[in-house]
Amino acid sequence: MSMLEIRGLNVWFGHGRDRVDAVQDATFSVGEGESFGLVGESGSGKSTILRAITGLAPQWDGSITVDGAMLIQKRVKAFYKTVQMVFQDPYASLHPRHSVDAVLGETLHLHGFSDIDSRVVKLLDDVGLGQKFRFRYPHQLSGGQRQRVAIARALAGEPRILLLDEPTSALDVSVQAEILNLLTDLRAEHGLTYVMVSHDLAVVGHMCARLAVMKDSRIVEVMDVDNLRQNRAQHPYSQELLRNSIGA
């Protein structure tokens, strides 16, 4: 059964002659427990798809179905128990004057949990941070540690789908390896479904089983990673992308 199904999705910004069509006619589906990648150059609309799913890009039409329920324009509270997002820049996505404890505690409170104290402890352990980080502020954490906090925050509501928007592109390669391993473990432990946006084909190839290639606001190809590895991309743009990443 598919966990996330997107049919004929269009997303646009602005009105009238300033209208920009950021995503046009996007269609794909992600099965339960699957990891799906979206790749393409900047401005191709890959992040916009994630933002439309979470409700951060309000102007869209087409259909988005999450776990069998079709989304309407307004998101209900239960939606955020199912779907959570991790953003690209861990420096910008954490409040500079909230401690890790406050960030996670508030999120848990909003999700309606009462045993907040024990859950904060559990979340920190889950993302491999441990207790000594609980009362630190973001400026006392490294980039990798911040991204772990952002992942813990996303996991707080025990979601079933995680939307990952370039989760490692702001990090060093050694830290990237740690975060990708963490995401792999978490998916296995919690049976999560991932949709991951990246401009790095190697990262998507490592994390995902299937991927969609985007160019100029359209999905040009959806393929298996095995096909990608064996250099069997169909669309000329995917082939070019592949050449650029293999050469690297």
Q: Is 138 in the site for another protein (CB under 8 A)?
A: no
* Near another protein in 45-84, by CB under 8 A: none
* Complex with another protein: residue 108 or 214, whichever CB lies closer: 214
In this chain, which of 116, 180, 222, 223 binds another protein, going by CB under 8 A? 180
In this chain, which of 102, 116, 177, 222 binds another protein, going by CB under 8 A? 177
In this chain, which of 31, 33, 55, 143 binds another protein, going by CB under 8 A? 143
**What span, in angstroms and rounded, lies between the C-alpha atoms of 248 and 203?**
13
**What span, in angstroms and rounded, lies between the C-alpha atoms of 100 and 147?**
12
Hey, what are 116's tokens? 């907040």
In this chain, which of 125, 172, 216, 224 binds another protein, going by CB under 8 A? 172
**What span, in angstroms and rounded, lies between the C-alpha atoms of 126 and 183?**
11
The angle formed by the CA atoms of residues 228, 10 and 55, to the nearest 5 degrees, is: 95
Q: Is 186 in the site for another protein (CB under 8 A)?
A: no
For β-strands 69-70 and 60-66, DSSP reports them as antiparallel
**What span, in angstroms and rounded, lies between the C-alpha atoms of 175 and 84?**
22
Q: Is 33 in the site for another protein (CB under 8 A)?
A: no
For β-strands 83-86 and 69-70, DSSP reports them as unpaired
Q: Is 181 in the site for another protein (CB under 8 A)?
A: yes
Q: Is the four-CA dihedral 22, 28, 32, 36 of positive or negative sign?
A: negative
* Near another protein in 146-165, by CB under 8 A: none
Q: Is 42 in the site for another protein (CB under 8 A)?
A: yes
Stretch that binds another protein, among 27-35, 113-121, 147-155, 235-243 (CB under 8 A): 235-243
* Near another protein in 209-228, by CB under 8 A: 228
In this chain, which of 95, 122, 229, 232 binds another protein, going by CB under 8 A? 229
Q: In the chain, where do the E strands start and end?
A: 2-13, 20-31, 35-40, 60-66, 69-70, 83-86, 161-165, 193-198, 210-215, 218-224
Which parts of this chain interact with another protein (CB under 8 A)?
41-42, 143, 172-178, 180-181, 184, 199-203, 205-207, 228-229, 240-242, 244-248
